[in-house]
Amino acid sequence: MKSVKRLANFQSLFNDAVEQVRSAHTVTLRWTPVESLDVDRLGTELEQVQSFYEACEPLTVLLNNLDRQLVQFRDSAVTIDPGVITQQTALRNDFDQVRLITESRIHAINQTIASLRAPPQRVSTLTRTPSHRQTQAPGVRTPIQDGAQGAVTISPPLVKPTVPLSDSVSSPWERCVHPSGTQVPYYRK
C-alpha cells in the first residue's frame, strides 16, 4: 500500500515537471534572436533572461527529486515501467536543453553589451609614403669591431621593413593583388 502511495506521488510530481518543462521550453521558443534586439532593450532582456534562469531552479530541484525517487524504487525492488524511466530521461534532456539555451542567451547578450561598450576600432588609412629599403640582404650579419679590445661581435640581422605593394613599382604602373584573394601580384597601368 505504501508503494502505491509513493508511485501516485511520483506520478503527480512527474506530471507537474512535464508541464513546467514544456512551459519553460515554450518561453525559450518565443525569444527574439539577440542580434535582432534593440540596443536599448539589451539590459532589460538580460535581466529577464537571468530571472527566468533563476525561476527554473525549483524545477532543477524537482527533477533531482524525481531521479532520487526512481533510484529508491529500484532499491526497494518496486518494478518501474521502462517507459517511465525513458520519459524521465527525455524530460531531463529537454530541461537540460532549456538551461543550455538560457545560458547561451545570457552569454550572447553579455557579449553584445560588451562589444557595444568596447572602444571603436580605428580603421587605418593607407597612405603612400616612399619606401626605405635596406641595401643589405636579409639574414646577413655584419661584423662590428669593438674599438676597446679589438674583439669582433656579430650584430643580429637587420629586419627588412615591409614595403607597401604600391611602392614596389614606379608610376604609372601599379602593383595589385588579385581580388580573389590569391597573393599573386599583377601590374596595372
Spans of all domains in the chain: 2-117
Of 70, 72, 113, whose CA–CA distance to 88 is shortest?
70
State residue 134's pLDDT score: 47
Distance in angstroms between the alpha carbons of the first and the last residue of the chain: 96
* 109-131 tens-digit pLDDT: 999 999 888 766 555 555 555 55
Mean residue pLDDT of the chain comes to 77
Specify the 3-state DSSP secondary structure of 120: coil
Specify the 3-state DSSP secondary structure of 136: coil
List 145's β-bridge partners, or say none.
152
List 152's β-bridge partners, or say none.
145
Four-way CATH pick for 2-117: 3.30.700.30, 1.10.10.10, 2.60.40.420, 1.20.58.60: 1.20.58.60
Of 174, 156, 173, 157, whose CA–CA distance to 165 is shortest?
174
* pLDDT (average), residues 148-168: 50
Query: Which helix (H) or strand (E) element contains residue 174?
Result: strand 174-177
List 153's β-bridge partners, or say none.
144
- Most trustworthy range by pLDDT among 46-55, 145-154, 174-183: 46-55
State residue 118's pLDDT score: 72
- In the predicted model, is pLDDT for residue 145 greater than 60? no
